[in-house]
Structures are given as structure tokens and as C-alpha cells.
Amino acid sequence: MAVTISVEPDAVSNASAWTVTSTNSGETNFRIKAELIISAATVAVKWQPAGTLSWDFKRLLWELITYTAIDFDSLNIQTTNTDSYKSYTVKFTEYWEDVNNALVEGANGTSSAKVIYKVDCTTFADYNLSADDEEFLTARPTTNKIKIGDNLVTGWSNAAGAEAFDTFTDSGRNITSAIDSSATNQAICYSNSIGRISKGDIIECYCNFTKNSGTYPRIDIIESGSGNKSNVEYFVSGYNYFKFIITGDVIDAQFRIISFAASLVDFEMSQVYVSKGYNELDYLGFVSEEASLQVDCLLYDVDGGSLDSLNLAAVNLVGDRGIMPVSAILFTHSTTQVEKIILKIITSTPADRSKDITFTRNSVCWNNPVRIEWLNKFGAFDAYTFLDDYDEDRSGKRSTYKDTNDVEQILDIENYQVIKAYSDYETKTNLDWIKTILDSKKVYWIVDNVRIEIVVTGISQVKKQKDRVKLALSFRKLI
């Protein structure tokens, strides 16, 4: 072939520079056409004459890359972020003119599949996934404080009745169950009581679910011995997140798992967490070249003793390799309080190449915490909770014009909610990370698990205590 790709980026990188040579470069009016191809469609064309056969599509590709926001209400703890990278190929075709000035189309060549990540930072300046460690996409400190709300851990018991039967073997919070159901009878199993709950309360449940046979069961919350008190959700294979909104006061609430199909449902639920009220979650994107990944969550008690290792099952990435958000697991345990968790990526080749991220329980008393999430320079999201009470004010502006009678009229009114939120006392390392909020193009205030886009107006130091500093974040949103 006359067209040869002599310089090309790695299969997975944050660069897209190319150099091409040809044995026909001495022909009259020789040039090469480069076509950038995404999903079988040509999205851009560049021409180069002989002598300058080099291209770089990085800036163009980066304009096509956005990010995937996390949907709290349909949270999947291992959701592939398919928007934070682009898969593409480049096709090169040579042209020149013959002695009669007629256009001649020569040979062409198409590159192998490439993936480019939008990670504009020093760490990834010359990043080669084949040679480097797997990376969390954050500049946050390796040790972080996190505050979790009140948590309730479910226990489980047999429930046998006229409708069906089930059997359990119960070890900690690992549940193995076989539910036998028929075409006319439903099969039900119940959890032990999770206590009194009220209308409007939100219950969140996290569990790892594996089904061996039969159809997927459903789950809801009921009054013990009575009827439904929440929305109904359905299990899927793998890690499940359920959000239940309570529809009426419940004195003795239970989880109910039901199978209606005429089949045997063998299933296993490991590490079941239930949380009532507000729970803080952190999302950690990471970049990897692995086709499948596993996140290991290591739990420790107050004395540093190991409690559990929660292994989230390996996930096959959709399409090409992606960036995935990972939620910090709730600090709950069946017998004792968890004080620290460590998240690490587990990869197959070589094993465990990633950096660890540690979260420790924060004992600060909450007043009106302000949870902020922002798009960082790696193309992923960081999150931080300003724990102290916040100040609130109102502001606004009016646009006016003068009518034909020279009378001033109101054209538009904009009213703002103005917030000043206060951090805990933080070290310089944490402060430097928090201040990156100022550089972010997307900043959100998380209110009742809803993202509200805000405009940050400043970060200032308000108090100092020895080597630690309390920050104030000022922002506004339209109302």
C-alpha cells in the first residue's frame, strides 16, 4: 500500500496526533485527505499537501466529548460513562494529478479503532493506559471525611403461609433464598422489622443480587401483616439501588419480596443496606483500559480492625472502555459501626494497579449541610459537603427601557437566592482541592437528591484554627 501511517496515538489516550507517508508524494499536486470517522459516519475532513502530512484531531474530538451526569433516582453504582470519551477511526486517501491534469485517486488506509478521553491535566499529559496505573479521575486527597445519616441494617426471617414457602440460610447480611411459586400462588418472603416510618419518608436500599433461575422478583415496603406502603421496584442482576417513598405512616415496616411466576426463584442478596433520611454519597470516576472491572470496598472499625470486603461484581463496559462513576458505600455493618472505608479498583492484568481512596467517618454535627458537586478537570465529578450552617439572602436585578412617552418600563426581572455555605476546618491539601470549584464549568447544589445548577461567586477564608482553615463558598441560583 502506498499510504503508511507512521505516527499514531495509543489505542486509548488523550491525544490524537497522526503522521502519514506515501510512496507517491512526488506526484503532481499530491495531497492526502484525512477523514475522522465516528460510528461509521465521517464527521470531519482535513487535507494536507506533500511535505506536511501530519494531523491532530484532538481539539475537534474534545468538542464532541461531554460527560454523563449521575441520575440519583435511577442510580446504578456501576454505570458506564459513555459520554466522557469518543471512539473513532481515521481514513487516509491519497490524490494527485496525471499528465492531463486529471485527478487520480490512489490508495487509502484506515486506522485501527482508537479511544480518546477528555482529561486535560498534567497527570494525563502523556498518559498511556497500557503502561500506567489505572487512575481515579480526581485531584481530591487520598483520605477524605464523609458524613453518613442514620442507617438501619435489615435482618431477615422466614415467612411461610398458605400462599407459598421459602427457606433461608442467614449469615450476617448475606441471604440465600429459594422461593417456590405457582401460576396461581405468589411466593413471598419478608425482612425483619425496620421500625416505625412516616408518610413522605424516603428509604434507600442497596444490595447485590444474583438470580440463578426463574423470573426476577419485585420488592416493596409494607405494614407488617398488612398492605403496601411504598412504590414497587424490580430486581435486576448485579448491584441494585432502590428508592422507596413511603405513602402512609407505618408502625412496623418490612421489606416484601414477591415472585408471581410459576417457577423456582433461587437468589442471593449480599451486603444489604437500608438508610432512612439523608445519606451522603461520593462518586469517583476512573479511567481504565480493562474490558471488565471490579471495585473493592474495604470496611474497618474504630480500632482499625477489618470488618468486611464488599466486592462489587466485575462489570463489562458497554462498547469501548469507559469512565465509570462509583458510589462510596454506606457506613453500615450488622454488628458494629464502620469508621473507615477504602475504595480500590481491581483489574485483571496486572492485578490491583489503581490508587486507593479512603473515606473516614466525620463526627461533626450537621446543621443545614450544603452538598456541592462540580465537574473537575478530568471530565468526572467531585463532591464535597459544607457541613456548617449556611447564610441565605435574596438578590435581584431589573432590565428597563423607555417607551415612546419617555416613561421607564420594566423589561425583565431576575431574582436570585444567594447562599454562603461554610466548610469544616480543613487542611491545606483539602482546601486546594475544594478551591477547584472556582475553575469548574458545571457546579451543582444537591437538594433532596436533585441537582440545581448554580453560579459560584467566590470562595473565601473565614476562620483559622492552628493549621486548619474554614472556608466560605458563595453562590447564587435563579428563583
Average pLDDT for residues 192-214, to the nearest whole number? 76
pLDDT one-digit tens code per residue, 151-181 = 555 666 655 544 455 555 544 445 667 776 6
Rg (Cα) of the chain, in Å, rounded? 28
Q: According to CATH, where is 2.60.40 located in the chain?
A: 3-118
Say yes or no to pLDDT of 129 above 70: no
Q: Indicate yes or no: pTM above 0.85.
A: no
pLDDT band at 300 (very low <50, low <70, confident <90, very high): confident
CATH topology of domain 3-118: Immunoglobulin-like (2.60.40)
Q: According to CATH, where is 2.60.120.260 located in the chain?
A: 151-276
> 151-276 architecture in CATH?
Sandwich (2.60)
Share the mean pLDDT of the chain. Answer: 77
pLDDT one-digit tens code per residue, 320-339 = 455 566 665 555 565 666 78
Query: Residue 119 in contact with residue 127, Cβ under 8 Å?
Result: yes
What are phi and psi for residue 454, nearest 5 degrees? Answer: -130, 165
C-alpha separations of 380 from 134, 352, 356 in Å: 15, 21, 17
DSSP codes joined into one string, 316-361: EPSSS--EE--BPPPS--SSS---EEEEEEE-BTTBS-SPPEEEEE
pLDDT band at 202 (very low <50, low <70, confident <90, very high): confident
pLDDT at 435 (0 to 100): 93
Bond into 350 cis (ω within 30): yes
The whole-angstrom separation of Cα 169 and Cα 178 is: 10
pLDDT at 319 (0 to 100): 43
Taking alpha carbons only, the member of 202, 363, 180 closest to residue 267 is 180
Distance between start and end Cα atoms, the chain: 63
- Secondary structure of the chain: what % helix, strand, coil (to 5)? 5, 55, 40
Say yes or no to pLDDT of 354 above 70: no
Taking alpha carbons only, the member of 284, 294, 278, 371 closest to residue 328 is 284
